[in-house]
């Protein structure tokens, strides 16, 4: 099991390197700088040894100035190389992260809506932001730096053995203990990282949902209860980090003790050897420096492996998202010059969760001819909105056929299909930004004059022109600086601007004020003119003129006909109509 897990981590590591392939030249240069920097650092004690033994102790004071300049140049070279190496490593990491984050965002925008139905927004945000940021350290202070640290350790060991192999072996007596501590640290932190990342995702998801629904929390006076929930989640996040902190608290003090022990061995043994004239002062001084330089990268490597493990855990979560093919939208190839607008459902069965027994649509069949209008009514949960979502292929039906112009909907090129269908929802979502930017979602260029003409045609320009900046007015997040009716009018302008072949209105008039209703009704008439239209409505007064009216009950057709035909049947439609008229 552990072997398979290690193989999986190695495969993830290889995939990350492939993503970084476009930075290959920069990475190779960074590796070269790292090796040069490591060698300069490792050889520095030899320089001090020579100055002490062959200049100072030999009383060649006339050479001190020269060697001081050489030492200064050496240190300046180290500093310059360290600067460029650090800057280049961070630049490489940020470039890779930029590409990876763009790739993830592009992937998210092409996932099925069913993925977002079952995935908290905070989780998706964590994958795109926090997990990707974690991978930054893998490249900036992980892979390349570990290589440099390894080169430095090897170079130091070679130098130490060349100077005095007995002293080197004495120094290395602490290595077994160091290896044990490093292995303890590595295994412990590896097991805690996944839990930490899961708790971060849970925390993000909770905060995003509560901040979005803050109005509901305050309206029902749930601040205290929600605080207790947040407190519980926050404690789990803290406890997960505590486990990771524990291993840090054990490992680094052990390393410090081993460093002190090595110093003690060098000082005690070296002093005796100097007194016995078996060693020179410069050699002992060099070994003291070597110990510091040797254990510094050893400590760092443990931390670097920590970064790599965190990066691998983050990468695993990201690649699980990217590799889940069942969440990816299916793209067909059909892109006709124009969609005539014929819609046909043939014995369609659909449910949002395949594990559920109850079907949302159960053998639904109907046909809508091009240019005609179909109104769909029914109780909440009867399947009205599901029909609309299946036409735009936001969801995939399980059985039966959905045809547009006698072609199965899944065979259409999805972006093209959605470009030719305008979907006007009850709850209009506007992005933070100007009215113009929200109207331009399906436009290839800025068409302010076109938007103004459409707004004038439906009577919406009067309110737009009085806003600060008119079309440049900032609607704020979710369009909250506008009323529901104003947002709805903007959605109609957006729909008319693309000149769609099919229009779907989902409860577009159910939550607007009476002042806006007349304008919206006019916009609906313009939008439906000479187009195939599917209208989902609660207000039966808005659908009287539709060519067909279909009453849905539990995913099946209960009644179907024109307004007058359904009134004559004295069924569910007539009862609902008379109830609304009486009110």
Cα–Cα distances (Å) from 159 to 173, 179, 287, 512, 528, in that order, read 17, 21, 10, 82, 84
Mean pLDDT computed over every residue of the chain: 78
Cα–Cα distances (Å) from 575 to 356, 384, 579, in that order, read 32, 19, 6
Fold that domain 343-582 belongs to in CATH? Rossmann fold (3.40.50)
Bigger pLDDT: 171 or 142?
Answer: 171
Backbone angles phi, psi at 57, to 5 degrees: -65, -30
Q: Token pair for residue 247? A: 């291993």
Cα–Cα distances (Å) from 74 to 45, 289, 291, 315, in that order, read 12, 16, 20, 40
Q: What is the pLDDT of residues 422-440, one digit of tens each?
A: 888 777 777 777 878 877 7
Cα 494 to Cα 455: distance, rounded to the nearest angstrom: 10
The pLDDT value recorded for residue 445 is 56
Q: How distant is the alpha carbon of residue 85 from its chain centre?
A: 29
Flag whether pLDDT at 510 surpasses 60.
Answer: no
Flag whether pLDDT at 447 surpasses 50.
Answer: yes
Query: Residues near 185 by Cβ (< 8 Å), separated by ≥ 6?
Result: 247, 248, 250, 251, 302, 306
Domain covering 24-327 in this structure, CATH number: 1.20.1560.10
Cα–Cα distances (Å) from 242 to 77, 194, 222, 274, in that order, read 41, 13, 30, 48
Cα 428 to Cα 475: distance, rounded to the nearest angstrom: 12
- Is residue 1 very low, low, confident or very high in pLDDT (cuts 50, 70, 90)? very low
Q: What is the pLDDT of residues 167-207, one digit of tens each?
A: 888 877 877 887 777 777 766 676 677 677 778 778 877 88
Q: Token pair for residue 42? A: 């490792």
Q: Are 90 and 174 in contact (CB under 8 A)?
A: no
SS3 366: strand
Q: Are 531 and 384 in contact (CB under 8 A)?
A: no
Q: What is the pLDDT of residues 21-55, one digit of tens each?
A: 788 888 888 888 888 888 888 888 888 878 887 87
Bigger pLDDT: 569 or 344?
Answer: 344
Q: Are 535 and 543 in contact (CB under 8 A)?
A: yes
Q: What angle do CA 439, 441, 447 make, to 5 degrees?
A: 55
Percent of the chain exceeding pLDDT 70 equals: 89
**The model's pTM:** 0.67
Query: Averaged over 351-357, what is the pLDDT?
Result: 75
Flag whether pLDDT at 283 surpasses 50.
Answer: yes
The structure tokens 């769609």 sit at: 500
In the chain, where the domains are located: 24-327, 343-582
């Amino acid at each position: 099991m552990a072997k398979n897990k290690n193989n999986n981590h190695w495969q993830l590591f290889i995939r990350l390197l492939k993503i970084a392939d476009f930075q290959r030249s920069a990475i190779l240069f960074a590796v070269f700088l790292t090796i040069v920097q490591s060698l300069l650092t490792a050889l520095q004690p030899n320089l001090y040894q020579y100055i002490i033994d062959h200049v100072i102790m030999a009383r060649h004071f006339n050479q001190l100035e020269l060697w001081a300049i050489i030492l200064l140049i050496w240190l300046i070279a180290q500093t310059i190389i360290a600067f460029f190496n650090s800057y280049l490593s961070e630049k490489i990491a940020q470039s890779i992260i930029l590409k990876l984050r763009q790739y993830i965002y592009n992937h998210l925008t092409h996932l099925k809506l069913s993925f977002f139905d079952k995935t908290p927004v905070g989780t998706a945000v964590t994958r795109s932001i926090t997990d990707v940021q974690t991978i930054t350290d893998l490249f900036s202070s992980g892979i390349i730096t570990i290589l440099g640290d390894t080169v430095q350790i090897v170079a130091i060991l070679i130098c130490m053995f060349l100077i005095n192999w007995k002293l080197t072996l004495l120094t290395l007596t602490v290595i077994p203990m160091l290896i044990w501590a490093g292995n303890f640290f590595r295994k412990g932190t590896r097991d805690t990282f996944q839990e930490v990342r899961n708790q971060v995702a849970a925390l993000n998801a909770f905060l995003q949902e509560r901040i979005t629904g803050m109005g509901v929390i305050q309206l029902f006076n749930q601040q205290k209860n929600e605080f207790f929930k947040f407190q519980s989640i926050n404690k789990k996040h803290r406890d997960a980090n505590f486990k990771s902190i524990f291993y840090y608290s054990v490992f680094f003090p052990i390393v410090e003790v081993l460093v002190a022990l090595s110093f003690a061995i060098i000082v005690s043994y070296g002093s005796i050897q100097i007194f016995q004239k078996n060693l020179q002062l410069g050699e002992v001084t060099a070994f003291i420096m070597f110990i510091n330089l040797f254990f510094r990268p050893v400590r760092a490597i443990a931390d670097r492996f920590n970064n790599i493990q965190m990066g691998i855990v983050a990468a695993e979560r990201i690649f699980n998202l990217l590799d889940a093919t069942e969440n990816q939208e299916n793209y067909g190839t059909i892109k006709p010059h124009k969609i005539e607008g014929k819609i046909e459902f043939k014995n369609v069965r659909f449910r949002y969760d395949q594990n559920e027994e109850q079907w949302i649509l159960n053998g639904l069949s109907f046909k809508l001819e091009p240019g005609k209008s179909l109104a769909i009514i029914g109780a909440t949960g009867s399947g009205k909105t599901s029909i609309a979502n299946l036409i735009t292929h936001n969801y995939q039906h399980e059985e039966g056929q959905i045809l547009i112009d006698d072609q199965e909907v899944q065979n259409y090129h999805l972006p093209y299909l959605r470009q030719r269908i305008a979907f006007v929802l009850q709850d209009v979502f506007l992005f933070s930004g100007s009215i113009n930017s929200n109207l331009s979602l399906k436009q290839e260029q800025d068409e302010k004059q076109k938007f103004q003409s459409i707004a004038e045609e439906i009577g919406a320009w009067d309110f737009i022109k009085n806003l600060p900046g008119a079309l440049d007015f900032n609607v704020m997040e979710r369009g909250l600086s506008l009323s529901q009716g104003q947002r709805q009018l903007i959605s109609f302008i957006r729909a008319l601007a693309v000149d769609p072949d099919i229009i779907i209105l989902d409860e577009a008039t159910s939550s607007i004020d009476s002042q806006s209703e007349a304008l919206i009704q006019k916009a609906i008439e313009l939008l439906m003119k000479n187009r195939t239209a599917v209208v989902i409505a609660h207000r039966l007064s808005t659908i009287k003129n539709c060519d067909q009216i279909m009453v849905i009950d539990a995913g099946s057709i209960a009644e179907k006909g024109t307004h007058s035909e359904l009134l004559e049947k004295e069924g569910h439609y007539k009862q609902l109509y008379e109830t609304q008229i009486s009110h």
